[in-house]
Amino acid sequence: MKITQRDFGQGATLYSLKNENGVQLEVTNFGARIVNLFVPTKKEKRNIVLGFDSVEEYLAQDMYIGATIGRVAGRIKDGTFTLGGQTYQTDKNDHELHTLHGGAPSFEAKLWDAKLEESEKKSTVIFSLKSKAGEHGFPGELMVSVSYTLTEDNEWCVDYEAHTDQLTLFNPTNHVYFNLSGDVEQAIDDHKLFIDSDQFACIDEAVITTGEKRSVTDTAFDFRKARKLETSFNSQDDQVKAVGGFDHPFFLNKPSIEHVSAVLTSPDEAVQVEVLTDCPAVVVFTANFNGAGPVIRGKKLTDHGGITFETQTAPGSERFEDFGTIEIQPNVPFRSTTIYKITE
């Protein structure tokens, strides 16, 4: 497998990885992000993720689409947390009230270093970055790497690794949006979704987790048997109505890269994506933009025009002990893996 590359604007590079099955993954060192994921079907070749054609378009429209998110994905309430007996104040970039995705600009806006690895069965781009101590209020210097691998088994593998010189918080994710129809003007309502999760985290009007873990039983959040998303979008569930869809963490029953935790299936059943992860939770966001979505390659993104699987520890874990921990220690490397496997 060979990796090709071309200019992506403003000093960034686009890397293209293609396997023998015709699956093509394109990523850029701008924000260590996925830009395209082309999948062949019997009728056509589809781009099943949202993305733009240049750095300039990301800067003008949406910096989070497809990007690596950090230091801490999701929202930190009031931009404050206590760690090691000390209280820290982080950048309030969410309506000047809370910290969103680690502050801004953060991982999504940086040019990462890139290293390429090629072999017969897989190709990998390794992105690396140094986050300086005190950046957006977080303690400790952090060395981060994110590896994107495309295999001959049609897997896009995301491997995270980080090292810190001081006790700090770290909870990365990838903000990829899937639309398996390949058409951003077609909502994901008819996509079928499976999630192996018995509980989800409730959120308030500011999309901040409240600390409540609620059973999915008899709610719009029960995807333990695959079903169409429209059945939830049309429900009267208070948590769905609060944001016009989903923007919620699901606690996974069996976090492991040996276990399928989620499955998304296209309306025509020509494309299916399985999610395997060692992360304890996944934040599902259904692009609830209500007409305010970006224009992608000449087409306006419809409401519910994409869906994320942001594998991570549930946001709010810095406040709620039973959500898990996002503390990392010096001399103890952070490592995590998520696999998006394309099947037919």
Active site residues: 175, 310
Structure tokens at 173: 């994710």
Query: What is the amino acid identity at position 56?
Result: E
Q: How far is it, in rounded angstroms, from Cα 113 to Cα 17?
A: 17
Coil/strand/helix, residue 107: helix
Helices then strands, counting H and E runs in the chain, come out as: 3, 31
State phi, psi for 91 to the nearest 5 degrees: -60, 125
Query: Are the C-beta atoms of residues 67 and 33 closer than 8 Å to each other?
Result: yes
Q: How far is it, in rounded angstroms, from Cα 241 to Cα 238?
A: 5
Q: Which helix (H) or strand (E) holds 196?
A: none
**C-alpha pair distances (Å), 250 with each of 75, 116, 198, 246, 315:** 15, 34, 8, 10, 11
